[in-house]
């Protein structure tokens, strides 16, 4: 049996890049970018502060790869060279602080509303959901698919040119790449749908193209939802396990499992946890990143003991910017909130992010 790695030990990816430890800042929506997708000073500072706090791998929020893929107000863009000055500044700041900087690449698909893009959203297929505010998407054309492949590849090349050390393809949470994987959303009858090989074709094509376009030691990761949760639906655990092996063949360096509650076993196999299942499905040199309500050293170590290589922190990283440094102390108890706006600002949380965090329980309290 392989010994469980130490959480604070370095980890090498198959492309040759090395992260100084196994603690990642998860990709977190924060609404702090400019309307045109340019990086703001607040967003740069929020990310650089976590790098300064010791996180080994720091991910940006989901950055939209084309203008029609925007899903949120204040969302980072990476679809134009006019985004490069901010991206270069951020990549340099992360590197100087010793972190491995990664841009998460994204297209919202049906979750890119017309109020942001000025056009009807599109997805794998046309469909309708009976919920407030839903905009029925049109089905993707061959031209849409060809354009979005090129957009992801161009965004990855732009990230490398800006000085980042990797990208992650966001194929989780019911966004475009997840929509193509879905057996309920993707009901296409052509080569981009049908059986799971067809539904996985878009993600695999993008992964292979990005790998070919970004020479080592540039890290390529993919984030998936292994099973249905929230907007991620039509996903099957066994299909996700097959996908993991295919993506390894396509050249990825890591697979990021978005589990929401990392302590829980899978829904399809309640007696089994996702991490050992995916560990068996992947070659030893493809790393597994796990995210899902992790707060303490013990919780992180439990995921490494199951076979994960890295853990990604979300809320814990917002409230504890020095978590990787502090966790070396056996007596460290992470701050769990809620915190006042001033306390959040002291943690490099900008005003727009503070307002956004009010949507979530136990994050913000009035002074």
User: How far apart, in whole angstroms, are the C-alpha atoms of residue 281 and residue 200?
Assistant: 16
**Burial status of residue 325 (CB atoms within 10 A of its CB: 0-12, 13-18, 19 or more):** middle
Helix (H/G/I), strand (E/B), else coil: 273: coil
Q: Which residue has the tokens 């991620």?
A: 232
User: How far apart, in whole angstroms, are the C-alpha atoms of residue 75 and residue 27?
Assistant: 12
Q: What is the pLDDT of residue 1?
A: 52
Q: What is the pLDDT of residue 275?
A: 98
Write the secondary structure of 119-180 as one string of H (helix), E (strand) and C (coil): CCCEECCCCCCCCCCCCCCEECCHHHHHHHHHHHHHHHHHHHHHCCCEEEEEECCCCHHHHH
Q: What is the pLDDT of residue 107?
A: 98
Q: Is 254 a catalytic residue?
A: no
Query: What is the DSSP code (8-state) at residue 292?
Result: S
Q: What is the pLDDT of residue 367?
A: 74
| DSSP H stretches of helix in the chain | 41-52, 84-96, 114-117, 142-162, 176-181, 196-199, 201-213, 237-249, 274-281, 297-306, 315-319, 323-326, 341-345, 351-357
Q: Which residue has the tokens 């030893």?
A: 284
**Token pair listed for 359:** 């949507």
Verdict on whether the full-model pTM lies above 0.85: yes
Are 59 and 104 spatial neighbours (Cβ–Cβ below 8 Å)? yes
Each residue's pLDDT expressed in tens, for the chain with a length of 367 residues: 578 999 999 999 999 999 999 999 999 999 999 999 999 999 999 999 999 999 999 999 999 999 999 999 999 999 999 999 999 999 999 999 999 999 999 999 999 999 999 999 999 999 999 888 899 999 999 999 999 999 999 999 999 999 999 999 999 999 999 999 999 999 999 999 999 999 999 999 999 999 999 999 999 999 999 999 999 999 999 999 999 999 999 999 999 999 999 999 999 999 999 999 999 999 999 999 999 999 999 999 999 999 999 999 999 999 999 999 999 999 999 999 999 999 999 999 999 999 999 999 999 999 7
Are 336 and 295 spatial neighbours (Cβ–Cβ below 8 Å)? yes
CA 322 and chain centroid, separation: 21
User: How far apart, in whole angstroms, are the C-alpha atoms of residue 20 and residue 12?
Assistant: 9
Are 168 and 27 spatial neighbours (Cβ–Cβ below 8 Å)? yes
Are 50 and 17 spatial neighbours (Cβ–Cβ below 8 Å)? no
**Token pair listed for 13:** 């990816």
């Amino acid at each position: 049996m392989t010994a469980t790695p130490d959480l604070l030990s370095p980890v090498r990816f198959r492309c040759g890049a090395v992260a100084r430890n196994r603690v990642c800042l998860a990709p977190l929506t924060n609404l702090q970018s400019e309307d045109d997708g340019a990086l703001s000073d607040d967003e740069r500072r929020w990310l650089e502060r976590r790098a300064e706090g010791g996180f080994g791998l720091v991910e940006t929020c989901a950055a939209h790869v084309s203008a029609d893929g925007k899903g949120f107000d204040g969302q980072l863009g990476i679809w134009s060279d006019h985004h490069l000055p901010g991206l270069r500044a951020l990549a340099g700041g992360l590197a100087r602080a010793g972190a491995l900087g990664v841009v998460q690449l994204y297209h919202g698909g049906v979750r890119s509303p017309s109020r942001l893009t000025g056009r009807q959203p599109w997805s794998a297929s046309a469909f309708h959901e009976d919920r407030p505010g839903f905009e029925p998407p049109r089905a993707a054309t061959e031209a849409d698919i060809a354009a979005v492949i090129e957009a992801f590849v161009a965004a990855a090349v732009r990230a490398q040119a800006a000085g980042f050390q990797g990208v992650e393809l966001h194929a989780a949470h019911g966004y475009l790449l997840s929509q193509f994987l879905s057996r309920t959303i993707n009901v296409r009858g052509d080569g981009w749908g049908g059986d799971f090989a067809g539904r996985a074709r878009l993600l695999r094509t993008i992964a292979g193209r990005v790998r070919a376009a970004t020479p080592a030691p540039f890290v390529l990761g993919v984030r998936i939802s292994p099973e249905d949760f929230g907007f991620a639906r039509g996903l099957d655990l066994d299909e996700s396990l097959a996908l993991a092996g295919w993506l390894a063949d396509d050249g990825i360096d890591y697979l990021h499992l978005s589990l929401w509650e990392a302590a829980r076993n899978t829904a399809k196999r309640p007696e089994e946890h996702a991490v050992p299942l995916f560990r068996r499905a992947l070659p030893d040199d493809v790393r597994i990143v796990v995210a899902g309500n992790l707060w303490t050293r013990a919780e992180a170590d439990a995921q490494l003991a199951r076979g994960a290589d890295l853990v990604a922190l979300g809320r814990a990283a917002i409230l504890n910017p020095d978590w990787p440094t502090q966790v070396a102390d056996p007596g460290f108890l992470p701050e769990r909130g809620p915190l006042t706006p001033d306390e959040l600002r002291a943690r490099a949380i900008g005003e727009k992010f503070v307002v956004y965090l009010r949507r979530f329980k136990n994050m913000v309290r009035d002074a």
